[in-house]
């Protein structure tokens, strides 16, 4: 890998100035490399992170097809990686005007990485550096433990999609806890609401009573006075609270990987301490990539919005407007069928900016029913730019599309949900317009978003050395072929039997005629992995 | 909502439909940078090394992870197809295959004109060569290929490491080769017939080496020294007669129901059989490939056979009918031992085999061995597939026990099971 030449770097620095003037915010330093085909062979299995740890599977052609994007949620052909400084990759022979466009696109991504709050946990250190340290740590372990290191990597990667990314993000942004105790939290949040299921008025009364205690006794002694009364009324409270304290917090149960890491009797043993290190590395690597897949449409849309806007304003590239238009159209045009994140995201940002400029995200506009008035509505707020900067800071793909895809947007860009039917005679799939309804379109987008299975720990059954997982069924079964080896890996790291409760296809009624879709009935089942043998039972 | 069907020819044809937003990446999309070229095999150690790693896994008590016999196309140049080891990293994942391959199950974005219900384009179900993307079986672009050298390697590994039966050890009842004896081999020093020309050549080489020939002067043969080993003789030797050969038909169902696992299994099994035969007979096997849905077609090479995928209905009879026609027209049974391997998921619109069974019976008159493998859907109650049912009912399996074999494997079968299936199909 070679740095781009000084001439190109000067162009990049010029782009940075113009991007900053337009309001983008990113760190000063960035690294740009020219990549050759040879570099790509090495980089793409490592998801463009040059310092990622070595693992033999990276070197083998990985079977593609089923669940491709779910299995490998990170794009191996990314131009920019979220490191400090941000590293970006370029084709050797890009003409200057094209580089200007790509630089702006890259700066859009860097701005997104460094400002979108879902990336909060990646802001404090340089991933390239951390990955290098991890790579060295794994190399060292490999010299001590040989192929067992690769087994542990394999087993850890087997569950690296079962991490509680949202829990992590929410912890990052949680305001500091006040001076009150967790006992008070538990009393008000769990005991009253879930155990006693008190009426709202009673609940409010209880909160008010606490406030009164604070006023009467002061911050320090308020709780004592408050709970004196609670214990009188609910003699069982103290015991229940003590019991709850020893149980796992709900947050704990959502992150399978962390749970194994923290509670596995096998990993706890001294001689297995090195395994914990590996599981930790795999988990953190996974968490590092999580925000990327959850902001694909926004991130590409944001970068496309800015490369288009800033390129057109750039005074240095006069004469290349047509070249630019051709490339830009190819990248950001809406396909007749398909979902181009660049195109969809960019159009949404333009749409949101315009709507915000006209003051349409207001109660006044939403209350309007008259079509004509809605069309003409414009309060000239001039806050559109500001508004989209806030959007890029606070949302992810799900929230972005579910909040802002609306009928006006779908109509303006003539969007629709496409589907296909088989024409038996001519052996072609016929694609047709299924719906032009915004809600259907939104649903279609959501169906395509990355969504790993929702698996949690079942604390009731996790005892006596066993680990119990529950898959919360959301209409799709798990890939059955993969269950055995995944559970085998978890069993190894847990050091005891592992069960997984999930939903399988119970029966398929074969279609009467080729035109019909088979009917599927579901069956709740429990898989048990014990001594590397898988058992399946219906429940 | 169902589609209104316009007259054919009114609508454009879509070649590739990219459905997922995650199928887009900056480098190829924005910079038109090709995904890395060159087979991934350049990154791996030798195949043997990987197989060793895999064998190690078994010793350590974990299932094997490397699968072999898959084809991969390098992106750039497109000149080679190689057999490379592949693997998959198992995780708990949603299975979209239940809905995706069916109508109405997918749903994709779209933009542009068209009323609800209007057909806006078509996509051929049978992709023509050179289309489609992806690398698994049933997908892939067509390209010239150099399968053989790798397949040979694979055959060797199969024979050695998985202990597949070695055909030659079973006697020569159906030997594919005949031998003739002729004075074709050469031997230095002694033998049956002196090869004068070759001998003279050796003598001159010897004398050049000894410095006895000066290129500037006329050569004087009388001054040559002759070493005993310069004399080259012809000796009687055994020659393979290439006239006697075997032809192997690979037939498979590539209809819609075969999507995913069944195709993968059938194709894997056929790759393995193909490689194994190639190793066993050193290229003396001719292979023919037939794909069928409701109609059958012959494809010219294994690559196309391996990579084709469609979504039509299923008529098993068509494949056997085509094979029978080919055999009849080319009069193959006269000169060849004929083997046929057929793979399916067992679906057949001809549910009682009324059309299929007569075709199979006809085939049984000339084949030395027909092996039928059925991949059975594992979900739901075990239900015999149509093909399995009517084959069992027909009694052919008993009456032609010597040349018809059936193997039914679950669609979760692993490589060991596939190889076990080959044993069943090819056992004497």
Inter-chain contact A79–B26, Cβ cutoff 8 Å? Answer: yes
Q: What pLDDT score does A75 carry?
A: 60
Of A335, A453, A505, the CB nearest to B93: A453
**Given this model, what pLDDT does residue B75 score?**
35
B409 three-state secondary structure = strand
Contact list, A441 vs chain B (CB under 8 Å): 109
**How high is the pLDDT of residue A383?**
93
Say yes or no for a CB contact (<8 Å) between A417 and B110. Answer: yes
Mean pLDDT of A178-183: 77
For A160, the closest chain B residue by CA position comes to B91
Is the Cβ pair A56, B117 closer than 8 Å?
Answer: no
* CA distance to partner chain B, nearest, from residue A431 (Å): 5
Q: Is A105 within 8 Å of B67 when comparing Cβ atoms? A: no
Query: Across the A/B interface, how many CB contacts are shorter than 8 Å?
Result: 364
Tell me if B2 and A161 make a contact (CB, 8 A cut-off). Answer: no
User: How many residues are present in chain A?
Assistant: 539
pLDDT the model gives residue B166: 47
Give the model's pLDDT for residue B72.
Answer: 39
Per-residue burial over A379-399, b if 16 or more Cβ lie within 10 Å, else e, is eeeeebeebbbebbeebbbbe
Over residues A388-414, the mean pLDDT reads 94
**Domains of chain B (ranges, CATH numbers):** 148-176+242-426 (3.40.50.410), 178-241 (no CATH)
Report the pLDDT value the prediction gives residue A111, as an integer from 0 to 100. Answer: 96
Mean pLDDT of A165-173: 86
Identify the residue among B76, B87, B107 best suited for mutation to test binding to A, counting A beta carbons within 10 A and taking the highest: B107
Least Cα separation, residue B418 to chain A (angstroms): 15
* Chain B hits for A76, Cβ within 8 Å: 25, 35
- State the complex-level ipTM: 0.82
Strands (E), A248-319: none
- B357, two tokens: 């069974």
pLDDT-derived band at A481 (thresholds 50, 70, 90) equals confident
Cβ separation A486–B91 shorter than 8 A: yes
Shortest CA gap A194–chain B (Å): 31
A71:B88 CB<8 A? yes
**For residue A353, which of A380, A333, A383, A378 has the smallest C-alpha distance?**
A383
Higher pLDDT, B278 or A478: A478
Q: Count other Cβ atoms within 10 Å, centred on residue B188.
A: 16
**CA nearest to A448 within chain B:** B20
Stretches in chain B below the pLDDT threshold 50: 1-2, 37-44, 69-82, 101, 128-149, 166-176, 243-244, 381
Say yes or no for a CB contact (<8 Å) between A40 and B95.
no
Residue B273 phi, psi (nearest 5): -60, -45
Nearest to A338 among B18, B93, B94 (CB): B18
Q: Average the pLDDT over A118-133 and give the result.
A: 92
* DSSP string covering A320-340: -HHHHHHHHHHHHPPPSBS--
**Phi, psi (5° rounding) for residue A486?**
-65, -45
* Alpha-carbon span B80 to B76, nearest angstrom: 10
Contact assignment for B72 to A61 by CB distance below 8 Å: yes
What tokens were used for A43?
């980089």
Closest Cα in chain B to A475: B94
Question: Among partner residues A429, A441, A520, which is closest to B123 by beta-carbon distance?
Answer: A429
Q: Residue B110 and residue A424: Cβ atoms within 8 Å?
A: no
* CA-based nearest residue to B162, from B51, B78, B306, B86: B51
Mutate to test the interface with B, among A323, A420, A438 (most CBs of B within 10 A): A420
| Tens of pLDDT, residues A195-215 | 888 888 888 988 898 888 888
DSSP helix/strand/coil, B94 = strand
Separation in Å, CA of B151 to nearest CA in chain A: 17
Say yes or no for a CB contact (<8 Å) between A160 and B91. Answer: yes
Beta bridge pairs of residue A337:
B110
Nearest CA in chain A to B380: A507
- How far is A402 from A34, CA to CA, in rounded Å? 38
- What is the chain A residue with the closest CA to B410? A481
The answer to whether the CB atoms of A337 and B113 lie below 8 A apart is: no
Q: How many CB atoms lie within 10 A of CB B30?
A: 27
Identify the residue among B111, B113, B115, B117 best suited for mutation to test binding to A, counting A beta carbons within 10 A and taking the highest.
B111
Residue of chain A whose Cα is closest to the Cα of B33: A91
CA A225, CA B152: separation in Å to the nearest integer?
84
| B chain contacts of residue A92, beta-carbon cutoff 8 Å | none
DSSP state at residue B351? T
Closest residue in A to B82 (Cα–Cα): A61
Chain B residues within 8 A of A94 when measuring between CB atoms: 31
Do residue B105 and residue A102 have CB atoms under 8 angstroms apart? no
For residue A10, what are its two tokens?
Answer: 């000067």
The model's pLDDT over A351-394, given as tens digits with 9 standing for 90+, comes to 999 999 999 999 999 898 888 998 899 999 989 999 999 999 99
Q: A266 or A1, which is more confident?
A: A266
Q: Calculate what percentage of chain B has a pLDDT beyond 70.
A: 64
Instruction: Using CA coordinates, name the residue in chain A closest to B29.
Output: A331
| Closest CB to A431 among B29, B122, B349 | B122
Strand order through the sheet with A498-509: A454-457, A467-472, A498-509, A519-530, A533-538
Residue of A nearest to B106 (CA): A419
CB contact under 8 A, A77 and B53: no
For residue A201 the two structure tokens come to: 């008025």
A401, A376 contact by CB (below 8 A): no
A37:B36 CB<8 A: yes
Nearest Cα of chain B lies from the Cα of A322 at a distance, in angstroms, of 16
Q: Name the more confident of A348 and A171.
A: A348
Contact A505 B380 (CB under 8 A): yes
Q: What is the pLDDT, as a whole number, of residue B161?
A: 57
Q: What distance in Å separates residue A243's CA from the closest CA in chain B?
A: 32
Strand order in the sheet with B67-72: A61-62, B82-87, B67-72
Cα A139 from Cα A119, distance rounded (Å): 28
Cβ-defined contact of B122 to A423 (cutoff 8 Å) = yes
Q: Are the beta carbons of A293 and B115 separated by less than 8 Å?
A: no
Which positions in chain A touch B17 (Cβ < 8 Å)?
337-338, 431
Residues of A in contact with B389 (CB under 8 A): none
Q: From chain A, pick out residues whose CB is under 8 angstroms from the CB of B348.
A: none
Residue in the structure block whose two tokens are 């859009």: A108
Closest by CA position to B266, among listed B151, B138, B405, B104: B138
Gap between the Cα atoms of A258 and A456, Å rounded:
11
Contacts of A504 in chain B (CB under 8 A): 379
Is the Cβ pair B118, A504 closer than 8 Å? Answer: no
pLDDT confidence of residue A426: 73
**What pTM value is reported for the model?**
0.74
pLDDT 10s digits, A460-476? 888 888 999 999 999 88
């Amino acid at each position: 890998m070679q740095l781009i030449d000084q001439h190109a770097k000067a162009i990049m620095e010029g782009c940075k100035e113009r991007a900053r003037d337009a309001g983008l915010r990113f760190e000063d330093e960035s690294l740009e490399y020219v990549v050759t085909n040879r570099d790509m062979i090495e980089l793409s299995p490592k998801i463009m992170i040059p310092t990622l740890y070595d693992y033999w599977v990276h070197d083998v052609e990985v079977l593609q097809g089923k669940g491709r994007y779910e299995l490998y949620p990170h794009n191996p052909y990314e131009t920019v990686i979220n490191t400090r400084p941000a590293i970006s990759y370029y084709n050797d022979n890009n003409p200057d005007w094209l580089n200007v466009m790509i630089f702006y696109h890259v700066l859009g991504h860097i701005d997104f990485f460094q400002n979108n709050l879902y990336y909060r946990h990646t802001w404090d250190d340089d991933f390239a550096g951390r990955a290098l340290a991890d790579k060295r740590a794994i190399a060292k372990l490999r010299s001590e433990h040989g192929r067992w290191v690769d087994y542990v990597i394999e087993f850890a990667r087997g569950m690296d999609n079962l991490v509680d990314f949202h829990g992590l993000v929410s912890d990052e942004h949680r305001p500091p806890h006040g001076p009150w105790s967790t006992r008070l939290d538990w009393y008000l949040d769990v005991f009253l609401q879930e155990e006693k299921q008190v009426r709202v008025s009673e609940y409010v009364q209880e909160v008010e009573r606490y406030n009164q205690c604070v006023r009467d006794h002061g911050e320090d002694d308020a709780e004592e006075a408050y709970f004196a009364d609670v214990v009188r009324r609910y003699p069982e409270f103290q015991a229940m609270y003590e019991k709850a304290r020893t149980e796992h917090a709900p947050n704990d149960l959502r992150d399978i990987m962390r749970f194994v890491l923290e509670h596995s009797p096998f990993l706890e043993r001294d001689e297995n301490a090195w395994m914990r290190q590996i599981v930790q590395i795999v988990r953190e690597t996974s968490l590092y990539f999580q925000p990327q897949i959850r902001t694909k449409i926004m991130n590409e849309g944001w970068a496309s919005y800015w490369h288009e806007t800033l390129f057109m304003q750039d005074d240095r590239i006069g004469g290349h407007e047509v070249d630019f238009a051709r490339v830009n159209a190819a990248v950001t045009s809406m396909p007749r069928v398909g979902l181009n994140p660049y195109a969809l995201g960019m159009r949404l940002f333009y749409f949101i900016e315009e709507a915000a400029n006209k003051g349409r995200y207001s109660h006044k506009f939403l209350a309007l029913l008259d079509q004509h008035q809605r069309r003409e509505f414009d309060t000239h707020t001039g806050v559109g730019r500001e508004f989209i900067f806030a959007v890029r800071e606070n949302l992810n793909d799900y929230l972005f599309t579910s909040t802002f895809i609306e009928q006006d947007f779908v109509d303006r860009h003539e969007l629709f949900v496409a589907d296909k039917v088989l024409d038996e005679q001519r052996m072609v799939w016929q694609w047709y317009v299924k719906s032009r309804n915004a809600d259907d379109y939104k649903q279609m987008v959501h169906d395509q978003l990355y969504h790993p299975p929702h698996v949690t720990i079942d604390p009731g059954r996790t005892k006596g050395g066993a680990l119990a997982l529950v898959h919360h069924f959301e209409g799709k079964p798990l890939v059955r072929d993969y269950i055995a080896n995944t559970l085998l890996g978890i069993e190894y790291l847990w050091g005891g039997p592992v069960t997984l409760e999930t939903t399988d296809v119970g029966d398929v009624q074969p279609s009467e005629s080729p035109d019909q879709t088979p009917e599927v009935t579901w069956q709740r089942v429990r898989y048990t992995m014990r001594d590397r043998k898988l058992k399946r039972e219906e429940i | 909502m169902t589609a209104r069907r316009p007259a054919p020819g009114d609508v454009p044809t879509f070649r590739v439909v990219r459905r997922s937003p995650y199928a887009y990446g900056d480098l190829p999309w924005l910079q038109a940078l090709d995904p890395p070229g060159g087979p991934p095999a350049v990154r791996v150690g030798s195949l043997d090394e990987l197989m060793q790693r895999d064998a190690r896994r078994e010793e350590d008590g974990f299932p094997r992870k490397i699968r072999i016999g898959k084809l991969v196309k390098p992106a750039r140049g497109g000149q080679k197809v190689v057999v490379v080891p592949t693997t998959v990293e198992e995780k708990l994942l949603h299975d979209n295959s239940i809905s995706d391959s069916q109508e109405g199950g997918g749903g994709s974005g779209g933009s542009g004109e068209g009323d609800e219900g209007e057909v806006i384009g078509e996509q051929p179900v049978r992709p023509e060569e050179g289309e489609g993307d992806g690398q698994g079986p049933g997908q892939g672009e067509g390209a010239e290929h150099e399968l053989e050298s790798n397949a040979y390697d694979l055959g060797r590994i199969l024979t050695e490491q998985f202990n597949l039966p070695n055909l030659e050890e079973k006697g020569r009842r159906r030997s594919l080769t005949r031998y003739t004896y002729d004075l074709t081999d050469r031997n230095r020093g002694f033998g049956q017939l002196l090869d004068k020309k070759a001998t003279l050549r050796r003598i001159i080489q010897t004398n050049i080496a000894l410095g006895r020939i000066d290129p500037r002067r006329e050569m004087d043969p009388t001054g040559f020294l002759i070493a005993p080993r310069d004399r080259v003789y012809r000796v009687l030797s055994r020659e393979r007669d290439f006239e006697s050969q075997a032809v192997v038909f690979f037939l498979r169902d590539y209809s819609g129901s075969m999507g995913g696992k069944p195709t993968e299994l059938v194709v894997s099994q056929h790759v393995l059989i193909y490689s194994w035969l190639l190793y066993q007979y050193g290229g003396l096997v001719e292979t023919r490939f037939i794909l069928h849905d409701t109609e059958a077609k012959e494809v010219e090479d294994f690559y196309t056979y391996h990579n084709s995928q469609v979504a039509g209905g299923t008529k098993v009879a068509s494949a056997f009918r085509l094979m029978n026609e080919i055999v009849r027209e080319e009069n193959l049974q006269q000169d060849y031992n004929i083997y046929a391997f057929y793979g399916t998921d067992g679906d057949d619109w001809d549910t009682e085999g009324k059309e299929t069974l007569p075709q199979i019976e006809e085939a049984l008159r000339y084949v030395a061995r027909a092996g039928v493998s059925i991949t059975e859907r594992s979900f739901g109650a075990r239900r015999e597939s149509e093909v399995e049912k009517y084959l069992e009912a027909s009694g052919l399996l008993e009456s032609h026990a010597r040349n018809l074999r059936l193997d039914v494997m679950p669609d979760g079968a692993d490589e060991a099971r596939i190889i076990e299936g080959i044993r069943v199909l090819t056992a004497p």
